[in-house]
Amino acid sequence: MGAFKFLSTLYLSTTLLLIIFGSFFCCADTNLNCGRQCSKSDSFTTENDFKANLKNLLDSLAENGPLFRGFYSTSNGESSNQIFGLVQCRGDVSSIDCGSCIKNSSAFALSECPESKDVMIWFTWCFLRYSTDNFVGVLSQTSVAIFNDTNYDDPSLVSYGLSLMSGLASSASYQNLMFQTDVLNAGMKGKRYGMAQCTRDISGSDCAQCLNSQLATFRTTIGSKKDWEIYGFNCFMWYHDHQFYFNFSTSADGGRTICISLAVLMMVVMIL
């Protein structure tokens, strides 16, 4: 492990939020906790109304997320006690895994960010967000890119890989689930697997804008790499040299891919 380096560039936004990501790629065979963002402690959250509303909100998200094909947003409470929440499971994940992921990320949120009014939790299979501000449907392009800084791809594949991902950036936004994968078959050089997804509260055009802007922003750092993952508030793009997503038709059976564990060597945050 001594050879691994971990560099990060973190910005504090105006609301004093800090994004923290773990030092690994998140792979399909295990549902890892990838990152979190908790707003600073707020005594408001210790009030019983807030706690009760949050609990109801999280229960509703865990119950309904799997029923609505992996996406659900709702709010609980009234006026100043209102909390807004959203869950988005990865499009290939079964409804059972989706529900389990939402429950686990909710528990994680409560244990890691117990006094935060504004929380985001990224797991491999699902993304959970809640806040006392109504963020639902409002595009935010804040993103984090994770990649192995020395794991360069064959230079002859770089432009094909980028065009695979830019194709996904435009086509994912037209899909019912705003989720799409694609494969680049490079013959002897193997295959490259791409994924693009948006949270389904935003419009198709916002989705395309979100994905295109992630790709444009991180293009020079990720473009030459074999494995990378970008996590955002509203969209996600992953690229690997192994199949990290489930075959959709078998996803209900919980098919698993073999995933080589990779530590993260670099992380870059973009806040727009």
Contact 225, 154 (CB under 8 A): no
Q: State yes or no: residue 250 binds ligand NAG (CB under 6 A).
A: yes
Q: Hey, CA dihedral for 136, 139, 142, 144, is it positive or negative?
A: positive
Give 219 or 256: the residue with its C-beta nearer to ligand NAG. Answer: 256
Rule CB under 6 A: choose which of 18, 20, 263, 271 binds ligand NAG: 263
DSSP of 109-131, one letter per residue? HHHHSTT-SEEEEEESSEEEEEE
Please tell me the distance from the alpha carbon of residue 238 to that of residue 4, in angstroms, as a whole number: 21
Residue 147: its H or E element: strand 143-147
**Nearer to ligand NAG (CB atom), residue 18 or residue 263:** 263
13 binds ligand NAG (CB under 6 A): no
Based on CB atoms, which residue is closest to ligand NAG, 95 or 170?
A: 95
Site string for ligand NAG, 118-157 (x = CB under 6 A): -------x----------------------x-xx------
> From CA 209, how far away is CA 169, in angstroms rounded?
8
Continuous H helices in 68-184: 95-112, 155-171
Q: Of 27, 87, 89, 101, which one interacts with ligand NAG (CB under 6 A)?
A: 101
- Count of residues binding ligand NAG (CB under 6 A)? 19
Positions that interact with ligand NAG (CB under 6 A): 4, 31, 97, 100-101, 104, 125, 148, 150-151, 243, 246-247, 250, 255, 257, 262-263, 265
